[in-house]
Chain A
Amino acid sequence: MKIVVCVKHVPDAQGDRRFAGDGTVDRAGVDGLLSELDEYAVEEALKLSEANDGSTVTVVTVGPDGASDAVRKSLQMGADAGVHVVDDALHGSDAFATSLVLAKAIATLEYDVVITGMASTDAGMSVVPALVADRLGLPQVTFAGSLSIEGDGPGAKVVIERDGDAFTEVVESALPALVSVTDQINEPRYPSFKGIMAAKKKPVTTLSLADLGVSADEVGLGAAWTSVAGVTQRPPRAAGTVVTDEGDGGAKLVEFLAGAKLV
């Protein structure tokens, strides 16, 4: 089975995340890492690969130079090869442009299933998987809390459970398909020492927009279909009152709520 996984390099949520002067996410001045939610996609791909002899897992990312760290982490976890699309013209790309470039990069590969995370941990729109499916003309099977492949060959289908508010939906589709997975689906592995060493020898292909036949004016900040008018840092919440419970904590709490007209 040929499996492609889309991953993203994001600013570390534990660090000091901020916006650059042009309204884009500051990616240069902050520590980055493989988006935590993409680890579930890599893990699910590795599990499928281990269950099907002769499988390959290729990770694809779009982003500046530092984004190669996200590819490397995936290779250390056990993926076989990486593709990194890097181009100065990509700066400020929105979800539409990102999905276009990802789709073009995936189209250079063979695949039975494309797997992504449920959202990035920075912009977090959760729409790139749907858009990549659209661009590739693939069935979209997203927000899988569980995933199984039934049958094989041309009749193979993917079956997922998708957790909603009122229902849990069981969804199925023929392959090839695009699947996004949630953080409920598995427990991502940590890279082993052996994995870290092996990753150094795994192939990573670097591609530019020209290699993919995408012109610079189709991507980047200038091509975005929305415009950021302003970014305001919220003032930190004013320090509140903290009391220590001395047998009257519950009463004091309700007193506060009553004062704020909340009870």
Chain B
Amino acid sequence: MAQVLVLVDHVDGAVRKTTSELLTLAARLGEPAAVFVGNGYENAAGALAEFGATAVYTVDAAVNDYLVLAKAEALAAVVEAAGGASALAAVLIPSSAEGKEVAARLALKLDSGLITDAIDVRAGDGGGVATTQAAFAGGFAVDATVTKGLPVVTVKPNAVEPQPVAGGSVPEATAVAVELSDLAKAVKVVERKAKAKSGRPDLTEAAIVVSGGRGTNGDFSKVEAFADSLGAAVGASRAAVDSGWYPHSNQVGQTGKQVSPQLYVACGISGAIQHRAGMQTSKTIVAINKDPEAPIFELADFGVVGDLFAVLPQATDEVTKRKG
């Protein structure tokens, strides 16, 4: 079977959940082969094997000193090392801002079709790769196929439940040398400022997200307490982020993160289109808002018209009691 390249998303070898999801999807299309760029492969090898990687290509960490194009050139070199575009079934890349840009430049280099933000990937009826994307704030589902070259697909988090593969053994890594172009080396990452860790799950990967908006008036303590009782990630609406109440990296919406958790709890969020674009594909939606006319209630499976400062503490106590 042809190999499917999966770009591993990791920090120093700590593999993110999206990678296990991509490996699971890759197995539907061919032999999952992981592409690991950077340091710490020895920490990642076990997780890659557990989710079915049958081959691994490693690329030197120097690639990470530059933005986007360097990674696209690295992937192109791996495609060559793996036998060329025609020998492969697909390339799967996480749908982050960087992932999409890397995918686009790789696709252009390979003269190949590109699908971004897929929420499902499967083998096409007549061979090839079939995908589903959500469009217009999740109001439409678009089924599309790649008709030219090696399909390059970026996949959103939570597209599939990761499936561990029994008896997976750690594959031997093939180191691939990359000769970066001058253009790639023209864009230098001169500093990486690490962000403070919240200790909560990653927003895009979390099974439950509790978000706060304008209705918090800047006080996220009740939102955070409820999130912690559920083991959830904390999100924020654009209004809350623009007011400086919560970091931009927690923004849910069109210009922030697009999340698709099992449960989304919107607290004091009206539900403007820009916010809906980031959460409308959540499986179950719960809303708390003082305004019974808030558009968020049109989406909610369960809504409470009320003050979040009264409703959330009671709900937090109730969850703690049940888990107690």
Contacts and interface: CB of A to CB of B under 8 A. Distances in A.
A204 B139 CA distance: 36
Interface residues of B, number: 87
Interface stretch (A60-68, A212-220, A228-236): A228-236
A249 B304 contact: yes
B40 interface: no
B147 A227 contact: yes
A143 B302 CA distance: 36
Contact of A140 (B67, B299, B305, B317): B67
Contacts of A131: 104-105, 108
B100 A125 contact: yes
B297 interface: yes
A234 B140 contact: yes
Contact of B314 (A163, A226, A231, A250): A250
B162 interface: no
B176 interface: no
Contacts of A134: 69, 104-105, 108
B312 interface: yes
Contacts of A149: none
A17 B136 contact: yes
Contacts of A173: 186-188
A51 interface: no
Contact of B114 (A127, A137, A251): A127
Contacts of A254: 315, 318-319, 322
Nearest to B255: A183
Given A13-B137, A182-B255, A225-B147, A126 B116 contact: yes
Contacts of A123: 135
Contact of B100 (A122, A127, A169, A183): A127
A171 B316 CA distance: 42
B113 A225 contact: yes
Contacts of B116: 125-127
Interface string A119-147: 10111111101110010010111110100
A225 B112 contact: yes
Given A141-B67, A240-B300, A253-B288, A167 B97 contact: no
Interface residues of A, number: 82
Contact of A166 (B11, B67, B130, B208): B11
Contact of B139 (A127, A234, A249): A234
Contacts of A19: 135, 140, 142
Nearest to A100: B108
A249 B306 contact: yes
A262 interface: yes
Interface stretch (B47-55, B80-88, B190-198): B190-198
Given A231-B140, A254-B322, 17 more contacts: A14-B273, A125-B100, A140-B68, A166-B194, A167-B193, A170-B191, A171-B67, A171-B189, A177-B187, A226-B144, A227-B147, A229-B145, A241-B302, A243-B303, A245-B304, A253-B311, A257-B263
Interface of B: 11, 67-69, 96-98, 100-101, 103-105, 107-108, 112-117, 130, 135-149, 183, 186-195, 202, 204, 208, 230, 248-249, 254-255, 262-263, 273-274, 284-286, 288, 292, 297-307, 310-319, 322-323
24 contacts: A13-B274, A127-B116, A130-B105, A131-B104, A137-B183, A145-B248, A164-B96, A166-B194, A171-B188, A171-B189, A173-B186, A225-B148, A226-B148, A229-B143, A229-B144, A231-B143, A233-B140, A237-B285, A240-B302, A242-B302, A245-B311, A249-B288, A250-B315, A260-B284
Interface of A: 13-14, 17-19, 23, 37, 95-96, 118-119, 121-127, 129-131, 134, 137, 139-143, 145, 159, 162-174, 177, 182-184, 224-234, 236-245, 247-254, 256-258, 260, 262-263
